[in-house]
């Protein structure tokens, strides 16, 4: 059991299979919402599954001049980093599967792996368009990653802990930390768009400029792994924001303490799922309403208009805690 339990958590729930299933459903919700915003019908519910199966069935080609090892390994590293991060986020209970003090830093680090892996995959593809896209991935990373870290620092300071589970538990009484750090919440939401390379921060993937960027040479199963990486990162990033700012599986008025453990877990999972879908709604709305920024505009805008307000918000939180004697 000591071996089977961690394998179950990594491969089934809350790991690979759960993330893929929820990611495909969230992808359909995302595409359906964007279609409605643009007065279109949108895809059927099984379309993301059909797209994934089609990619898995296509031929897997490695370019002749590409670094075969780096080209093959980077998508797996990216997906593994995202899957590993979910076990530190509470999904159905106040404590995550592998919670410990400092797991917030680990999750932030793991969520940077897809960007670095995408850069390396594009760089070693031996394609000029992939190289341009890879350079943009790394440049954009320096724009959104600092504000995202500072935004996550706000709830950590307010709760007095670097553990995501402890931060979530501090909101069990219904007072969400978004009220203490509203600026950090907004910055985290915007920085998440950059991490997922969605409009208006989709410069590395700009189809009209660099023809899907770093992934241009990827086909078949490896391209499907890249797609799965971004799908699962959407869920993990949204779950992290929900845990830090929106109480995670907690919701005011639901008597979790009086419920059976299994029922409390199901209700908590549903509550968190609704919060994740609300964040996906925000991502869809941003994609439908905004236009792409140039890469230098993105970096300057993130560092100036996201980084500085977040630092001010953290300073306000520290002053408030001193006033109440915490």
Structure tokens at 233: 């990162």
Check whether 320 has a pLDDT greater than 90.
Answer: no
Q: What percent of the chain has pLDDT over 90?
A: 67
Averaged pLDDT, 245-265: 82
Averaged pLDDT, 65-70: 93
Q: What percent of the chain has pLDDT over 70?
A: 97
- Give the number of other Cβ atoms within 10 Å of residue 243's Cβ: 28
For the stretch 44-63, pLDDT in tens is 999 999 999 999 999 999 99
Check whether 207 has a pLDDT greater than 80.
Answer: no
pLDDT number for residue 272: 94
Task: Check if the beta carbon of residue 140 is closer than 8 Å to that of residue 125.
Answer: no
Averaged pLDDT, 176-194: 93
pTM confidence score: 0.94
For the stretch 115-151, pLDDT in tens is 999 999 999 998 998 999 999 999 999 899 999 999 9
For the stretch 87-108, pLDDT in tens is 999 998 778 888 999 999 999 9
pLDDT number for residue 324: 67
pLDDT number for residue 2: 66
pLDDT number for residue 53: 95
């Amino acid at each position: 059991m000591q071996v089977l339990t961690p394998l179950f958590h990594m491969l089934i729930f809350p790991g690979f299979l759960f993330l893929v299933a929820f990611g495909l459903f969230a992808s359909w919700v995302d595409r359906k919402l964007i279609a409605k915003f643009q007065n279109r019908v949108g895809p059927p519910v099984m379309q993301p599954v059909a797209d994934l199966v089609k990619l898995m069935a296509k031929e897997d080609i490695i370019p002749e001049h590409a670094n075969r090892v780096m080209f093959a390994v980077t998508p797996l590293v990216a997906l593994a980093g995202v899957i590993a991060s979910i076990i530190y986020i509470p999904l159905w209970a106040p404590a995550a599967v592998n919670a410990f003090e400092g797991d917030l830093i680990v999750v932030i680090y793991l969520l940077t792996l897809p960007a670095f892996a995408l850069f390396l995959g594009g760089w070693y593809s031996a394609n000029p368009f992939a190289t341009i896209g890879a350079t943009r991935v790394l440049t954009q990373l320096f724009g959104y990653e600092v504000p995202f870290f500072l935004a996550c620092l706000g709830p950590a300071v307010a709760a007095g802990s670097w553990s995501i589970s402890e931060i979530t538990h501090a909101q069990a009484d219904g007072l969400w930390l978004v009220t203490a750090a509203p600026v950090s919440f907004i910055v985290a939401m915007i920085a998440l768009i950059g991490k997922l390379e969605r409009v208006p921060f989709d410069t590395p993937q700009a189809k009209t400029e660099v023809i899907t960027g770093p992934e241009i040479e990827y086909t078949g199963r490896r391209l499907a792994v890249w797609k799965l990486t971004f799908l699962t990162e959407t869920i993990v990033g949204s779950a992290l924001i929900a845990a830090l700012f929106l109480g995670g599986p907690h919701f005011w008025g639901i008597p979790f303490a009086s419920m059976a453990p299994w029922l409390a877990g199901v209700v908590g999972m549903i509550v968190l799922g609704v919060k994740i879908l609300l964040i996906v709604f925000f991502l869809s709305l941003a994609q439908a309403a905004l236009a792409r920024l140039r890469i230098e505009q993105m970096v300057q805008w993130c560092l100036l208009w996201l980084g500085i307000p977040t630092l001010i918000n953290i300073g306000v939180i520290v002053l408030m805690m001193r006033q109440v004697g915490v």
